[in-house]
Amino acid sequence: MLCLGIETSCDDTGVALVDGRRLLANRAASQADLHAVFGGVVPEIASREHYRLLAPLYQACLADAGVSPSDVDVVSVARGPGLLGSLLTGVSFAKGLALGTGARLVGVDHLYAHVLAAALETEIPYPAVAVLISGGHTNLYIMRSELELELVGRTLDDAAGEAFDKAAKALNLPYPGGAVMDRLAAYGQVDTAMFPRPYLDNQNLDFSFSGLKTAFALHIAAREGLATERLVEATELQSEEGARRVLGESFQEIADICASYGWSIADTLRIKTSRALERMGERPQAIILAGGVASNTTVRRLLKEEANARGLAFIAPSPMLCTDNAAMVAYAGSRLAEAGLCHDLTLEAVPRGRKVPRDYVACA
């Protein structure tokens, strides 16, 4: 089954083609540089860029795979959650393709696609606990199959990725800040007492990072002159030498702060994941890590150590499949279509804050 995937949920435009687990083509365009000057994603700019980029990416993707539009069996599109204008651009493009080619249409929950991303590269043993960490979401799922996901924990306020980005902004580090903090953390030493591990004094599986953000802000405010006087460019921090030159005498302290802050977030995720594993009514087989923050070095290390200690498989996608991408959307759409679950042209985009409904219709 040849499935075309379309991803426009936020500020990354993607088109991909998959056949089963074979990724035939994957085209993507990042808008990070456009939004960096604003310190975050500007929805209007994002949707306009999606509109500009989708058609050429689609044509390039077909050419890469050596197929024609009539060869596509399924058109899969991220329908939400995300920025409404961005989602509408992708959903409209997908509807046009389905109407013009006769391909089946599948609207995919963007979060579900993230969780399944690793399945493109490796077989997942079930049941498993999946940890989804991104700029907008921090969720825990119990997975019993590719089609059975039970949400058991979620963020009550800021997500882990947002906590990273806002901390980086306080230090005048470039957007998106999570990757920059991870890079600087490699040069630092972890102080486990520097920041709290938030929202652990309970027995639930939810997350809250607002208190940690406040602790970080207070820590930085007490150290006058720690943050750089100007917004640092990402290219200036590509190497340790460059980072030392730009950050000057503050280099080591900032590196230690990044390492300690990252550890607090990562260990919080580990503890909540451990709770989820212990509460499963059946023996888990794996811990699955997904989402943009799944590339974070410390998060990967601590969750892998947790899996190893329990004798479980640890499964995380390659960095290319951690960020928003069309390959994961195409794979998720192909799994749904094979199960006989599709949509008609009444498919709606679902913005962040609303639950994505399971309103599938039987495939024709």
3-state secondary structure 38-91: CCCCCHHHHHHHHHHHHHHHHHHHHHHHCCCHHHCCEEEEEEECCCHHHHHHHH
Does the annotation list 136 as a binding residue? Answer: yes
Q: Give CA–CA dist 329/5, Å, rounded.
A: 5
Annotation-wise, does 114 bind a ligand? yes
219 carries a ligand binding annotation:
no
Cis peptide before 43 (omega within 30 of 0): no
The answer to the question of whether 132 is labelled as a binding residue is: yes
**Annotated binding-site residue? 178:** yes
What residue type is 79 in one-letter code? R
Strand partners for 313? 286
Q: 153: buried, middle or exposed (CB in 10 Å: 19+, 13-18, 0-12)?
A: buried
90 is in an annotated binding site: no
Torsions phi, psi of 322, nearest 5? -80, -45
Count Cα neighbours of 117 within 13 Å in the Cβ-side half-sphere. Answer: 31
| CA gyration radius, the chain | 21
Question: What is the distance between the alpha carbons of residues 113 and 91, in angstroms, rounded to a whole number?
Answer: 15
184 assigned binding-site residue:
no
Alpha helices in 81-199 (DSSP H): 84-101, 110-116, 160-170, 177-185
Name residue 337's amino acid: A
Is 343 annotated in a binding site? The answer is no
Task: Check the annotation: does 218 bind a ligand.
Answer: no
The answer to whether 257 is a known ligand-binding residue is no
Burial class (CB in 10 A: 0-12, 13-18, 19+), 224: exposed
135 is in an annotated binding site: yes
CB of 234 within 8 A of CB of 225? no
Annotated ligand binding at 35? The verdict is no
To the nearest 10 degrees (0 to 180), the angle between helices 177-185 and 251-279 is: 100
Question: What backbone torsions phi and psi does residue 78 show, to the nearest 5 degrees?
Answer: -70, 115
Q: Point out the annotated binding site.
A: 110, 114, 132-136, 165, 178, 182, 296, 324
Q: Point out the annotated binding site for Fe cation.
A: 110, 114, 324
Q: Point out the annotated binding site for substrate.
A: 132-136, 165, 178, 182, 296
